[in-house]
Amino acid sequence: MGQLLLESCLLKHLPNEYAKRGACLVLVARRERSLQEVAERAWGLGAPDVLVVRADVSKVEDCRNVVDRTMHHFGRCSTSTRMNAYKVMESHFMQHLPNEYAKRGACLVLVARRERSLQEVAERAWGLGAPDVLVVRADVSKVEDCRNVVDRTMQHFGSLDHLVNNAGMMSISLLEEAKDVTDFRTVMDTNFWGYVYMTRFAVPHLRNSEGRIVALSSSASWLPAPRMSFYNASKAAIAQFFETSRIEFGPHIGITLVTPGFEESELTKGKQMSKAGKLEVDQESRDAIVSMIPVQRVESCARGIVSSACKGERYVTEPAWFRATFLWNIFCPEVIDWTYRLLYITCPGESQKDAIGKKLVDFTGAKKFLYPETIKVPDPKTD
């Protein structure tokens, strides 16, 4: 049996346990000398064959070489990985969260890559009661853009009370269909590092004002939805980052962690990036992902988020019934796995449009009752 083990803190001991069970091993680490020592122990414990490969797993070509050498040496690898590949960008609550803050008389700083859309949001915010609105065009995946946002905020207003992290990029794909997995770094750059950059630069000012961070994670941080591996991982990273930050900041900076289900957004309108690298609107693929799950109106979701944040609540899940999925995943993980495989996974050669979840939506006509009208006729921007 060919067994692939990548470098970790358990490098010296995990191979021993596999060796005792008669497994052939592939040992991977940056320090070849330490690998040889582990290999010798593995042979002594019963491993029939051990292949040593020096590699840095942070480099894509090194990882490709590890798998190629494993297959060349053993002919198979018993721990293969599957996933899927498209990309989707979504603005989440950009158009509605500011409205709720504006109704409470808050001054706003609006940040996005598309300045024209920001101006439209700013005009609505003024009409709803915001005394002042600053518009900043920025890409939160770039550290200098984030520094500039905070600097301009302080120059204009002199203080900062709430930081709302809501940027998001969606990836939808199976790993084996991804032509270049390095393309998915952009998901982490936006969803995770964008939050980290903004938070780091805002922290000194939030500490002075004893302010609050509102971080939009997702129920995807605990639900292992197929075709969304990179997105799920980024949202789980956000959740753990801010849980840890809550302890580090102590009582001086509050944190509200938001975990929405499906709500009106560019994702639920069907916006995604094709395998050719072009953004497109594909509502059939959207149906396969959302399936029979009700899609919440974004106004209701935004209202609940801002209300909870202003009350100082630690956690918000919208819609509230989605909290049950957290308990299901803890106490009935096998049921969650079985349901996802049944509804979302297709046979080899079939598209995701052949998934049972998609067929159920079409057969029952459930979209009439589960999806808001606004996502049935999409108008998401594709720039």
Query: Concatenated DSSP letters for 276-332?
Result: TS-EEE-HHHHHHHHTTPPPBPHHHHHHHHHHHHHTT-SEE-SSGGGHHHHHHHHH-
Helix axes 356-364, 333-344, angle to 10 degrees: 70
With beta carbons less than 8 A apart as the criterion, state whether 206 and 213 touch.
Answer: yes
Say what the pLDDT of residue 79 is: 38
Output the pTM of the full model.
0.76
Bigger pLDDT: 381 vs 369: 369
Percent share of the chain, pLDDT over 70: 86
Picking from 63-77, 123-137, 369-383, which range would have the lowest pLDDT averaged per residue?
369-383
pLDDT of residue 164: 93
More confident residue, 374 or 242: 242
pLDDT digits (tens, 9 = 90+) for 12-40: 678 888 888 878 888 888 877 777 888 88
* pLDDT over 50 (residue 2): no
Angle between helices 229-249 and 194-209 (to 10 degrees): 20
Residue 174: exposure state from Cβ atoms within 10 A (0-12, 13-18, ≥19) = middle
Q: What is the mean pLDDT of residues 346-356?
A: 74
Per-residue pLDDT at 81: 26
Residue 48 has pLDDT above 60, yes or no: yes
Looking at 115-129, 189-203, 300-314, which range is the least confident one? 115-129
Nearest to 162, CA basis, from 308, 310, 33: 310
Query: Residue 357 pLDDT more than 50?
Result: yes
pLDDT of residue 349: 65
Beginning with the edge strand found earlier in the chain, give each strand of the sheet holding 50-54 in spatial order. 2-5, 24-29, 50-54
Encode pLDDT of 213-229 as tens digits: 999 998 989 988 888 88
| pLDDT tens per residue across span 241-288 | 999 999 999 999 999 999 998 887 777 776 665 444 445 677 777 777
DSSP state of 26: E
Helices and strands of the chain, counted as H and E runs: 15, 13
Greater confidence, 78 or 252? 252
pLDDT of residue 15: 83
Distance CA 267, CA 281 (A): 9
d(CA 103, CA 100): 5
Q: Which of 12-16, 115-119, 128-132, 276-280 has the lowest mean pLDDT?
A: 276-280
- Whether the predicted pLDDT of 113 surpasses 90: no
| Catalytic-residue membership of 231 | yes
Assign domain 87-375 to its CATH architecture.
3-Layer(aba) Sandwich (3.40)
Most confident of 111-120, 156-165, 260-269: 156-165
The domain segmentation of the chain, as residue ranges, is 2-74, 87-375
Q: State the sign of the Cα–Cα–Cα–Cα dihedral 110, 115, 117, 120.
A: positive
Distance between CA atoms of 5 and 14, rounded to whole angstroms?
Answer: 8
Among 18, 86, 231, 344, the active-site one is: 231
Positive or negative, the Cα torsion across 80, 81, 82, 84? negative
Q: What is the CA radius of gyration of the chain?
A: 23
Fill in the DSSP letter of residue 228: B
> Which of the two residues, 311 and 184, has the higher pLDDT score?
311
Phi/psi for 84 (5° steps) reads: -140, 165
